[in-house]
Structure formats: C-alpha cells, structure tokens
Amino acid sequence: MFEDRSGRLPDRRPLKGYGAAVFVGPDGPRVFVGGYGTDNRLLAPDGTGSVADVTPEALADPHGHAFGVVAADVDADGTEELYVHNSDAYGGIATETDRLFDWTARGWRDVFTLPVNAGRENVRAGRSVAAVDRLGTGRYGLLLACYGAPMRFYELGDDDEVTDMAEEVGVDFLTGGRSLVVGPIVTDRTDVFVGNERGPNYLLRNERGHFTDVAAEFGLDAPSEHARGVALVDPDGDGRFDLAVGNWEEPNRIYERRGDGFVDVAPAAWREPTRTRTVLAADFDNDGTCELFANAMGAPNQLLRHRDGEWTVGDPGAAREPRGLGTGATVCDVDGDGTLELLVVHGELGSQPLSLYAAPTENEWLRVRPVTEYGAPARNAVVTLRTDRGAQTRLVCGGSGYLCQIEPVAHFGLGGDTAPLATPREVTVRWPDGRVRTVETPASETELTVHHPATRDP
C-alpha cells in the first residue's frame, strides 16, 4: 500500500526516539519528534513537498529522554502547548522532569520552570500522555500514564500554576501505564481508555468531569495481556467507536461496540502475537474507509483494511519494515495534497532514521478542522461526514494511544478512483461540551475550518 517518501525528510541521521505529535503552533502545523538522550526535532513543510528541520534551541532539550508527547491548548489562549514526558527510569521515580512548552512573544518557555511551579514538575516514570477536555470547556488537562507510580492529571491555572488534579477527578491509579486514548467511548462526552501492562486495563467513564473505572463491566480489562497501542475507529459510520488494541507479544484485539458491550472481531492474522507498539487509524488511500496500521519492534509492521463489514489483512508495502525498531508513529498531510503521510519513529534497541510513507492515490478527499471557542484545535471533537453513499465518523485526536498524537484534523476519503465517488452532503461537528454545528454541502478536496457555536465565523 505505502511507498517510501523518506527522501523528503531533511536528513537521514539515525535517531533514537519514541513519541511524535502533530500540533498547531504559532507558525502553523508542525511535527514534534522526541529524542531519547538526543535532540528533539521540530519538522515543518518547506513549501516544495519536502520537510525542513526548524527546531528552535528552546525545544531541543538534548539531554532529555522523551517518551510520550502531546499537544493541546491547556491555557485557553488559542495556541497549543506541547507536553513532553521525559523519563530516564523504566518505572517508579525518574531523575529528570517533564516539559510543558508554551509559546510566548519571547519564544518557547517551559512552564514547569516558573517559580509558581517549584516542586510541581513530574518525575514519575511513564509512557503516554493524552489531552482531555473533561468538562467541555475547550481548556485541556493532561493525563499521564505513569509506570509503577500513580497517574497524574495536570491542569493549568490563569496564573500559569500547574496543579495535579488526579485524585480530585478520580484517576490517581497506580498503574503499569502504557497507552491512553480519549473520546466518547461509552458516554457522549470524553472518556478515557488506559492500556496497562502486568495488570488490568482501565475504561474511565466521564461522569461530569469525574472518572469511574468500568473496564470490567464492559469486558475491556484484559488483566493477563500487556497493552501497547490503541486507537478509536468507527469503520461502519454508525457513530459508535470501536477500540483496536495492540498487545506486546499477546493477541491483538479489535473490540467492536455492540449493544451495551464490546465483542472482539479481530481477524486471525491480527491475533497472532507480535511486538506491537503504536496503532493508528486513518484513511491512508482516501477510499472512504479507515485502515489500521500497527508499528512493531523488530518485527514486520501490519496493516488491516475494512471491507464488506470485516477487517482483513492488507499489504503495508514499503512500510512493512521487517527489520525496523519501531517505537512511535504519527499521521498528517505533510505537503497539503490531501493524501496522508505516515511518519515512523524508531529506537529503544538502537538508533534508526525516521521513515516517511504515503499511499499514492487519485481518490478525492475532504478535511475538517474544528476549533474551540478560543480558536485552538478542538481535540476530542467528533466529526461526521454524510455523503450520498453513507456516513463516516472521525475523532479529532487527543492522543494516539501509545506515545504519539496525530494531526488535529478529521480526514475523509471520498473515493473516485479505487472506490466509487462519494458526494459530500453535510458535515456535523460535536464538541466535547455536546454542542453541535452542521455545514451543508461542503466542497470536496478542501480543508474546512468549523468554529465552535459560541463564536462567530471570522
């Protein structure tokens, strides 16, 4: 499916890395790649279809050990902040601190270094981070999946004071936390799935901003499995999200929402144990249906396609990487041509260059970018596209399961070449506060910005 476009990257230096996030900064969309004991990298399109390294010194942090990274507007200023979860320990307490990078008129600063936050920085070891709008206010909290230590949930006050709200909101679990994914899983607000190792997973149901674990009730606890990547996907367009869960050297799962519960519908090949890391859901070939891509460590990467109501094994092509030391991966439209690129990060067992892939296609597309009332990307929003051929639903990413985060855009394929062409009828955006806005007859092959109902369109 994929062809190799790594030649478009600014260099092919080996990098030992884990997390990567696509965020909207002061200069537009950027890809942040965390370095583990080496410089972080900030990548940007250069206007020619390739990618440039635009890393400012303030973000490089050459001695940090970055695991999970995530972006969100935590201070409601309309620009996304960038959280980097550093850890030089496998579990328990680390010797270095996380970073919360905030853009100001003077450039990037680390909010944790402000005097008001002395002693508030995180030193608990962990893996993933997710952006959670638990109250639907457009102001995001940051949930950390710690390992051998209680989870944290950071919120930022108007005075830049960082406060751990984990106990108050009911998420201060002692975990072997690996992955986080957020969205309307069992309610119509922002719930959280926590994938754990050496213990049961958590499904945190959002009850007016407070969370209750209901994983066992829904059969998602899987206490004997070792979760890694997880993605929310709605392959049939019914508006109810399924969970694709990757496990380390255990069977992978696809939990389909049926009635009041979930049923594992994973095909046999997906259940074969492998060294799964990141799992991503996206319509890479613009045919109108999502694919699942699973990154692996020292094993071939995997691709699943949804056809005739079932998941089937696909060919990842150049992205198979049988000798790749895959850790993280993210998705974005790097060159603005309406086709998604897949960026794969490697590390842990050794340094390898970043890889960039895309699936060449002539299929048409539509991209929808919801924003909060403050003008920032509306992470956790749900976007539904209705066409003359049915419905598709996407979730604006608050964290792509394991270590990473994809672009804050709902990307829809419309077919026309390898699949019948779908004509857009309407786009509906539902924000985490439950408010809805509908756009009639959107044009294809455009990127549509949809503003929160509390604001006027500019």
Are the CB atoms for 58 and 101 separated by under 8 Å? yes
Q: How confident is the model at residue 458 (pLDDT cuts 50, 70, 90)?
A: low
Per-residue pLDDT tens digits for 147-186: 999 999 999 999 999 999 999 999 999 989 999 999 999 9
Q: What is the pLDDT of residue 139?
A: 96
Q: What is the pLDDT of residue 198?
A: 87
Average pLDDT for residues 99-123, to the nearest whole number?
Answer: 96
Domains annotated for the chain, with CATH where assigned, are 3-363 (2.130.10.10), 381-451 (no CATH)
Cα–Cα distance, 137 to 414 (Å, whole number): 32
- Nearest alpha-carbon partner for 203 in 164, 249, 168, 241: 241
Are the CB atoms for 288 and 392 separated by under 8 Å? yes
Cα–Cα distance, 52 to 342 (Å, whole number): 16
Q: How confident is the model at residue 47 (pLDDT cuts 50, 70, 90)?
A: confident
Average pLDDT for residues 353-359, to the nearest whole number?
Answer: 97
Is the pLDDT at 457 greater than 70, yes or no? Answer: no
Is the pLDDT at 106 greater than 60, yes or no? Answer: yes
Per-residue pLDDT tens digits for 254-307: 999 998 899 999 999 999 999 999 999 999 999 999 999 999 999 999 999 999
Q: Residues with Cβ < 8 Å from 115, sequence gap 6 or more?
A: none
Average pLDDT for residues 223-246, to the nearest whole number?
Answer: 95
HEC-encoded secondary structure of 311-363: EEEECCEHHHCCCCEEEEEEEECCCCCCCCEEEEEECCCCCECCEEEECCCCC
Is the pLDDT at 23 greater than 70, yes or no? Answer: yes
Average pLDDT for residues 112-126, to the nearest whole number?
Answer: 96
Q: What percent of the chain has pLDDT over 90?
A: 94
Per-residue pLDDT tens digits for 362-380: 999 999 999 999 999 999 9
